[in-house]
A and B are shown apart, each in its own frame.
Chain A
């Protein structure tokens, strides 16, 4: 992990253990609610090996990054721009999952000059969160983690079978949520719940976009992702069969293939 200061606070970020050239293209991964950079380990390592400078930050208050967490997508978009400034990065391919997809969308809309391409995984606009989940998260109750984690896995995914040998994805997701600091998961869910697409300018037609939906996604149903894709002027849409919201663990190879094709990396 590396660290950098953004807006006066320490931010930790993973690099995929890469050794990029000075002029390497940049790909920036934004994790979802209650998560951290580790959800991106496989694509991070892939793009690092293929010559990208990989930046997979822990969002403020998450993982190893200093608090406080941010509770609005618009502010997160400005934070991404500030992170790029701090890293002296002009433009990047921006990839986000779940809440991270909203942040990526908002960044592409608000700071188009910083974005080469934008990929939205498990997305929906709006992204409403149930009162039950918000209420439990507001109390930092373990039921919030159980709800978010269970609903993030497809019926198949709740019985495992994710393909990563020996890994029980359902518990791995829960452990990540359990590691989040008090209040952080609620701030994230509130940011998702408060997202208003109309508050942002349209994403420019010159910005290539990718939307990946899971056919069995309960958190951001595939029809919602397809609708987001339809509103993007230059968008490729991929639906992963039998896959839930937690697509990075349920279908890691399919996600990687879609991202590689979108970024133009030959595999």
Chain B
């Protein structure tokens, strides 16, 4: 009986990427999203002003709190990720900080995957403890380790869809089940995947964060982030989340879970975190991220196609010890990737070059098309050799402990002709082979 029912068709992802949150400007007829480069917005009268401050009316007050250009981006990202709302932030790090600080304070605890972006690891391992928030790091493939690390004061479970640097595929449905069984929300960083390749909320996550600097904007020209609320978690299910279930004296004793229902988390994040920490996105940045989102489906398809071509070349190339990419059946999470990321496991991957640290340096310096820099998710292909750059102070033992080989090369595959990319890599491999043989 239940299989006979069918809901109405929903707007497709590609259409939402172009239209969600925006219609032609009613004043000017502008088809593109205007950049509202204004710090504040005029109140028609005093009662209207109070109404905006008191959440009686929809509208804008001051661009740290909200801005019409940012609001289009926020709606669009919520639409693309299947959330109830979003906040655009100054960076991906700001989005993670906003998510954490909305849920907890001193004395609280996070259980996180240990395979994280270095900046996130720094925040959780070194900086947040100074503010009384501790994190236990566990193997992202070990669900029992997540469950075992949860304490009475744990407020959040956190991981990345594609781990860093190992590209472990986070088993979001299983981890969500672990978190929910303990009465905890799951927050997922989906930067490497983007909602085009993986929508974590559909798999059980409750909160999603992105660095918009990467594929979302897609051209390496802005720094930004997005925090998205799935509206799925019942904050009133326990007394663990007083920021959402108890009166907030900073907003006239508002109880967010009472008044805002599924939007409680994102509303608290805006009314407190963006208001007080202030890590908002500039409207010009929001416009540029929106420009990127319009072509996200097209770009991600090409990114993945190119990455597959490059990875397959490297997997058969002399001088390459191993390629670590979930699209390849040699990756331990290949089957899981096919389930959670059926359109492709992103365009960032690593490979181990023969000859160690010296060969890695020689490889990097021989490349002409790949850009040697510390970023990913650009339209242009990027490369970095951690042992000679970001992790150069670590000896071989320390690198091994961090899961980084001395010959590890990380690639972010762009939109160039893949034949040119492979040609460039061949040049690097020839140079590396000479160093390795010397």
Contact = CB atoms under 8 A, between A and B. Distances in A.
A265 B252 CA distance: 22
B252 to A, nearest CB: 6
A150 B8 contact: yes
B263 interface: yes
B282 to A, nearest CB: 16
Interface in B16-70: 16, 19-23, 45, 47-48, 50-51, 54-60, 65-68, 70
Contacts of A64: 236
B56 A166 contact: no
B305 interface: no
6 contacts: A38-B262, A42-B57, A159-B11, A165-B71, A175-B262, A176-B261
Interface residues of A, number: 49
A229 B159 CA distance: 54
Contacts of B57: 42, 46, 252-253, 256
Given A41-B259, A165-B71, A166-B75, A156 B23 contact: yes
A117 B402 CA distance: 69
A42 B260 CA distance: 10
Interface of B: 1-2, 4-8, 10-11, 16, 19-23, 45, 47-48, 50-51, 54-60, 65-68, 70-71, 74-76, 78-79, 82-88, 231-232, 234, 236, 252-255, 258-263, 266, 270
A139 B1 contact: yes
A160 interface: yes
A132 interface: yes
A44 B60 CA distance: 20
Contacts of B258: 1, 14, 38
Contacts of B55: 41-42, 45
Contacts of A44: 259
Contact of B20 (A36, A143, A160): A160
Nearest to A257: B57
A136 B8 CA distance: 12
Identify which of B48, B83, B84 gathers the most chain A CB atoms within 10 Å of its CB: B84
Contacts of B23: 156, 159, 161
A125 interface: no
Interface string A160-181: 1111111110111001100100
Contacts of B16: 159
A147 B231 contact: no
A159 B21 CA distance: 6
B195 to A, nearest CB: 12
Contacts of A156: 23
Contact of B7 (A147, A164, A166, A253): A147
B50 A49 contact: yes
Given A38-B260, A159-B23, A167-B85, 19 more contacts: A17-B253, A36-B261, A38-B262, A38-B263, A45-B54, A49-B54, A139-B5, A150-B8, A159-B11, A160-B76, A161-B21, A165-B68, A165-B70, A166-B71, A166-B74, A167-B84, A179-B234, A267-B48, A267-B51
Nearest to B86: A166
B94 to A, nearest CB: 15
Given A160-B21, A175-B231, A14 B5 contact: no
Given A42-B57, A139-B1, A176 B262 contact: yes
For the complex of A and B, list the 6 residue pairs with the smallest distance between their C-beta atoms, beginning with the closest. A146-B7, A38-B261, A165-B66, A168-B78, A166-B74, A175-B262
Contact of A172 (B5, B236, B263): B263
A139 B2 contact: yes
A253 B59 contact: yes
A17 B247 CA distance: 10
Contacts of A252: 57-58
A135 interface: yes
Given A1-B255, A161-B21, A168 B83 contact: yes
A134 to B, nearest CB: 11
Given A165-B66, A167-B263, A168-B78, A151 B253 contact: no
A46 B56 contact: yes
Contacts of B234: 179
Nearest to A42: B56
B31 to A, nearest CB: 14
Given A14-B259, A49-B50, A175 B56 contact: no
Given A17-B253, A36-B261, A168-B85, A132 B5 contact: yes
A159 B260 contact: no
A170 B78 CA distance: 10
Contacts of B70: 165-166
A260 B51 CA distance: 12
Contacts of B67: 165
Given A160-B20, A176-B262, A179-B262, A136 B78 contact: no
B85 A172 contact: yes
Nearest to B253: A17
A142 interface: yes
B58 A164 contact: yes
Contacts of A144: 5
A214 interface: no
Interface in A175-212: 175-176, 179
B386 to A, nearest CB: 36
B84 A171 contact: yes
Contacts of A164: 58
A101 to B, nearest CB: 20
A227 interface: no
Given A41-B260, A166-B74, A267-B47, A158 B58 contact: no
Contacts of B75: 160-161, 166-168
Contacts of B74: 165-166
Nearest to B23: A161
Contacts of B2: 139, 141
Contacts of B83: 168, 171
A38 B79 contact: no
Contacts of A43: 56
Contacts of B7: 136, 142-143, 145-147, 150
